[in-house]
Amino acid sequence: MPVMHGLAFDVAHLFAGGMLLVSFVLLYQRRMFAVLNSFALHAIVLALAVAWQAFVQDAPHLYITAAIALLFKGIIIPLALHRIVVKLEIHREVETVIGVGSTMLGGIGLVALSILVVLPITASSAAFAREDLALALSIVLLGLLMMITRRNAITQVVGFMSIENGLILAATGVKGMPLVVEISVAFSILIAFVVFGVFFFRIRERFDTLDIHYLGTFRGGQG
Amino acid sequence: MNGLEADAPGAILLIPLAAALVFALLPGYRLTARLNVLASLLTLAAAASLFWARPTPGPYLLVDDFNIYLIVLNTFVGFTTSAFSASYIDHEVEIGRLTPAYLRFYHAMFQGMMFAMNLALLSNNIGLMWVGVEAATLSTVLMVGIYRTPEALEAAWKYFILGSVGIALAMFGTILIYFAAQSVMGEGLQAMAWTSLVDRASEFDAPLLNLAFVFLLIGYGTKVGLAPLHAWLPDAHAEGPTPISAVLSGLLLNVALYAVLRFKMLLAANAGALAPGPLMITMGLSSLLFAAIMLYRRRDIKRLFAYSSIEHMGIITFAFGMGGPLANFAALLHMTMHSLSKSAIFYSVGHIAQIKGTQRLDEMGGLSVTHPVLALGFTIGVLAIAGMPPFGIFMSEFLVVSSTFSRQPWLALPLVIGLLIALGALVLRLQGIVFGEPKGGIAPAKASYLPLFGHLALVAAAGIYLPGPLVAWFQHVAKLLG
């Protein structure tokens, strides 16, 4: 990125930072629909970030990744989850394990941690790639935090998909990484297939709820 | 390269993949079960042909001294498990736990899982290997949940969540490795290929490599079942069909450990990088001690042996962490022996649980009276896994302990204590199941004993006499691992 270095750098940062912000938004949502809408926004910002990388790195195949992120994760999955939530009548409040305040503080701590870990180690690398990695690691860790603090199956899946978004951001930010982008997109499709096709309907069949807290009560006899 | 040579790795991947697609379409589970055995046998034949004609590494696939034996082991246990599975599922259909429609899915997933594991082992590309491990995780998640009981669903969900998190962390580690390689080797496929990564690893940025390894160890370590990331393993073993427990313990854990070892080789090639040994020793020892103590509190027979798998993966990780020719040799041997004996145990456990109609330990007993042959196979298997002579595991554990004594005597102490605690628990449980008053069902077993005793014969033979070429070859690989 010779001529446009400054601009390329700033716009990429804007998108990556935007994703991080939406990750925080995901952390404190209490309503199921709000979680899904925030996730759609997360995926859309990812699509923009990847498209910008495709433009800056002159790597047209990344546009495919961006398009898939936009269509699949930004539109289809949130809509499908939306339908499931309506159909199963679970659009109530999401149970959280820890309060919003402490979750946010924990999230800030994780971001600080990933910056402190990644930046000193990659001091010799290209500035953009290293800061991009630090932001991506923060998004991954926030996704983990979301999976830990939510007891609901759908929000856990959303947390996992936000981790995937962070990984795709990292993979596209590192210049010229072969194969993996396409493959990881194919896998998010597979994961979605697994989740929709199997888990939701089976869990529905057995428990009449998607709150995995109830699953914990069936642990009898495992010893 | 002529046609046949070039096609062997392709065949190892394409046969299971094609079989998975065909099985998904074929109605009638009896035919499919036989075809499943046939497909696994063909894959094994393709894998064995690698010994005679080894293809040169390509950009995507690689066969070298290290992975060739894991590929053969993988396809061999896959083949024997498919034979066991054919006799196992008949009973499951009879008692109505599985319907023919689910079996179609089961067989397709079985081959899909074999494909994914072979892909992870054969890949010459860190990204492709990650894909293999992830695909294997997803297909086993579906298999674990196949009985649709609340417990099975909980186990599958837990496995899915923990496995995916592990896989996500491993992906981040993989990206970091590429990031380190790309600044030295430039962009493109060669910066992700094992063959070129190992050659240039000494020039990589050491701190970056360290960070990547921590992610990879935690990520793939979750799949190995190392404490404290093992929570999914006992549930997944206990609630899924027993052939899947056999494949999980015998193969999938090895595949994940293989991934860790490949990355360890990169670190070993870089002088500035941290020594992975202490990390692996700590994780290995804590898994061993934790699992050994937990063995006493098990009430479910499959959970019992699942914890035993954690224990043995702990020993293997410990030995690889110690490093050096002798400890690596012992670890490689232990990996092989553990695969063979643990899958043999699960074959016998599968039949025992079917006969008794339960997996609860306190509801089974007196097996030696009601089913002498099965009891014999089970007893030999448990004695072998507990590390009794003359079986192969005794030899490998002895080598691990003696090499630890000669280099780090203090580390040998917790190691030996862990081994003894586990031995006590297994013998205790063995007595309860095999001897005493007959309890539970007494229907005759409609079992095929060939896979069970075939494995046990190999384990016993390896304990008494290891063929010279095999020893030389293990030694060579142990040196490669550093």
Which residues neighbour A169 within 8 Å (Cβ) at sequence distance 6 or greater?
A16, A19, A46, A49, A50, A132, A135, A136, A139
Over residues A91-120, the mean pLDDT reads: 84
User: CB distance from A206 to chain B under 8 Å?
Assistant: yes
Say if residues B212 and A174 touch (Cβ distance below 8 Å): no
Task: Render B24-86 in DSSP notation, one character per residue.
Answer: HH---HHHHHHHHHHHHHHHHHHHHGGGTSPPPP-SSB---HHHHHHHHHHHHHHHHHHHHHH
Q: Is the dihedral of CA B408, B411, B413, B419 positive or negative?
A: negative
Contact A178 B187 (CB under 8 A): yes
Position A29 pLDDT exceeds 90: no
Residue % of chain A over a pLDDT of 90: 22
Please tell me the distance in Å from A66's CA to the nearest CA on chain B: 18
pLDDT along chain B (482 residues), means of 10: 61 92 86 92 92 83 88 95 90 84 89 94 90 88 84 84 87 90 83 87 88 93 90 92 93 94 91 88 95 92 95 96 92 94 94 89 87 92 92 94 92 94 94 86 80 93 89 90 80
How far apart (Å, rounded) are the C-alpha atoms in residues B7 and B219? 32
List chain A residues with CB under 8 Å of B151.
Answer: 218-219, 221-222
Higher confidence at residue A207 or residue B441? B441
How many residues are listed for chain A in this entry? Answer: 223
Q: Check residue A156 and give its pLDDT.
A: 81
Which is nearest to A161 in space by CA: A196, A212, A134? A196
Query: Any idea what DSSP says for residue B388?
Result: -
Please tell me the distance in Å from B133's CA to the nearest CA on chain A: 12
Counting other chains too, the contacts that A25-29 makes at CB distance below 8 Å and 24 or more residues apart are A26/A142, A26/A146, A26/A158, A26/A159, A26/A162, A27/A100, A27/A103, A27/A104, A27/A107, A27/A142, A27/A145, A27/A146, A27/A149, A28/A100, A28/A103, A28/A104, A29/A94
By Cβ distance, the residue of A144, A153, A215 closest to B165 is A144
Please tell me the distance in Å from B425's CA to the nearest CA on chain A: 15
Categorize the per-residue pLDDT at A7 as very low, low, confident or very high, splitting at 50, 70 and 90: confident
List chain B residues with CB under 8 Å of A163.
Answer: 164-165, 168
Categorize the per-residue pLDDT at A93 as very low, low, confident or very high, splitting at 50, 70 and 90: low
Higher confidence at residue B6 or residue A29? A29
Q: Check residue B222 and give its pLDDT.
A: 93
Mutation test of the interface with chain B: which of A61, A121, A162, A182, choosing the one with the most B Cβ atoms within 10 A?
A121
Higher confidence at residue B321 or residue A177? B321
**Which tokens is A140 given?**
């991954």
Q: Check residue A223 and give its pLDDT.
A: 42
With tokens 């002798």, the residue in question is B326
Position A222 pLDDT exceeds 50: no
Contact B303 A223 (CB under 8 A): yes
Which is nearest to A146 in space by CA: A162, A170, A167? A162
Q: Check residue B406 and give its pLDDT.
A: 92
A residues 126-185 closer than 8 Å to B (CB): 129, 133, 136-137, 140, 143-144, 147, 153, 156, 160, 163-164, 167, 170-171, 174-180, 183-184
**DSSP strand E in B357-440: where?**
none
User: CB distance from A58 to chain B under 8 Å?
Assistant: no
Bridge partners (DSSP) of residue B123 are B61
Query: Helix, strand, or coil here: B299?
Result: coil
What are residue B167's phi and psi, to 5 degrees?
Answer: -65, -40
Mutation test of the interface with chain A: which of B165, B215, B218, choosing the one with the most A Cβ atoms within 10 A?
B165
